[in-house]
Amino acid sequence: MGVTEEVRSPARSRRLPRAVRERQILDAAVEVFSQHGYHSASMDEISDVAGVSKPMIYSYLGAKEDLFAKCIRREAARLLEAVRMGIRSELPPDMQLWHGLRAFYRFVAEHRDSWTVLHRQALTVGGQFAGEINQLRSKAIDMVAALVVTAGTKKGLGPAAEFSGPALAVSLVGAAESLADWWLDHSDVSEGVLASWLMNLVWLGFNDLLEGEIWQPS
C-alpha cells in the first residue's frame, strides 16, 4: 500500500510514563518466567521481550527476585479476582462451586502464562515464594471450605465434621490444579465439561458414579 515502512518507529515509542513501562516489563517477565522458569529465565531475555534496557527493570522493579515476586502477586490477584467474579452467591452451594471452577478454568485458558508461573514456577525458588503461593492457595481453599460448610450447616453438617475441612479443601484444590495441568495438553474440552467432571468426582464420588448417578448443572 505504499506505506513508507517507518523511518522512525512509533511502535517502539520512547519516553513512556513509568506506569506503562512497569506493565510492559511485568508482562514480559510473566511470559519469560512461564517459559523457562525462574532460574533459567535471564534478565537479558526479559528486557528484550519488554523492549526495554536492563537498567530500567532494576530501577523500576528491583532485582530478579523482586521482579518475580511482583509477577506472582499480580497474577495471583488476577486469578482470585476472576474466580470471585465467577461465583454467584445467590445460587446453591454446588452451583457456586461449579461456577467457581468454570471461572478458574476460563482464567487458565485465557492466561496460560499466568497459570504456569503461579503453579509450576513459583515452587522453584527454594521455597522463597512458598509464602506468596500458599496465601493464594489458602484463599482458594477458604473459598471452597466456606462452600462446603455452608452446604453442611444447611443439612445439619453431621459427620462431615469428623473430617478435616482443610484437608478436603486441599484435596479439591489439588485435584483442580492437576486437572488444569492436564487440560493444557488436552485443550479440546470446554471449561464447562471440565468443571462438570470435577463436580462429579468431588460432589458425588466414585461410588455414586458407579451407581449410575450423575451430577449436572441444574
Partner DNA sequence: GATGAATGAGATTTCATTCAT
Partner DNA sequence: AATGAATGAAATCTCATTCAT
Q: Does 21 bind DNA (CB under 7 A)?
A: yes
* Residue 32 touches DNA, criterion: CB under 7 A: no
Q: Enumerate binding residues for a copy of itself (CB under 8 A).
A: 35-40, 94, 120-121, 123-126, 148, 151-152, 155, 158-160, 162-164, 166-168, 170-179, 181-182, 189, 194, 197-198, 200-212, 214-215
Give 4 or 207: the residue with its C-beta nearer to a copy of itself. Answer: 207
Q: Does 80 bind DNA (CB under 7 A)?
A: no
Binds 14: which of a copy of itself, DNA, none (CB < 5-8 Å by kind): DNA
205 sits in the region (left: phi over 0; alpha: psi -120 to 50; else beta) called left
Residue of 1, 3, 4, 12 that binds DNA (CB under 7 A): 12
Q: Which residue has the cell 462452600?
A: 147
Dihedral sign for Cα atoms in the order 131, 28, 101, 172: negative
Give the nearer residue to DNA in terms of CB position, either 32 or 108.
Answer: 32
Closer by beta carbon to a copy of itself, 30 or else 176: 176
Helix H, strand E, coil C: the string for 175-199 is HHHHHHHHHHCCCCCCHHHHHHHHH
| Cα–Cα nearest to 100, from 146, 152, 166 | 146
CA distances from 150 to 102, 138, 153, 206 (A): 20, 18, 5, 23
Sign, Cα dihedral of 208, 214, 217, 218: negative
Q: Are 118 and 136 in contact (CB under 8 A)?
A: yes
Residue 104's H or E segment, with its range, is helix 93-110
Applying CB under 7 A, the site for DNA has a residue count of 22
Q: If binding is defined by CB under 7 A, does position 6 make contact with DNA?
A: no
Q: Compare residues 5 and 57 and give the one whose CB is closer to a copy of itself.
A: 57
Among 52, 118, 169, 199, binds DNA (CB under 7 A): 52
* Residue with Cβ nearer a copy of itself (51 or 131): 131
**CB 3 → a copy of itself: shortest distance, Å?**
32
Per CB under 7 A, 2 contacts DNA: no
Q: Which helix (H) or strand (E) holds 167?
A: helix 165-184
- DSSP class of residue 91 equals S
- Tell me how far apart the alpha carbons of residues 41 and 39 are, in angstroms, rounded to a whole number: 5
Establish if 16 lies at the interface with DNA (CB under 7 A): yes
User: What residue ranges bind DNA (CB under 7 A)?
Assistant: 12, 14-18, 21, 40-44, 52-56, 58-59, 63-65
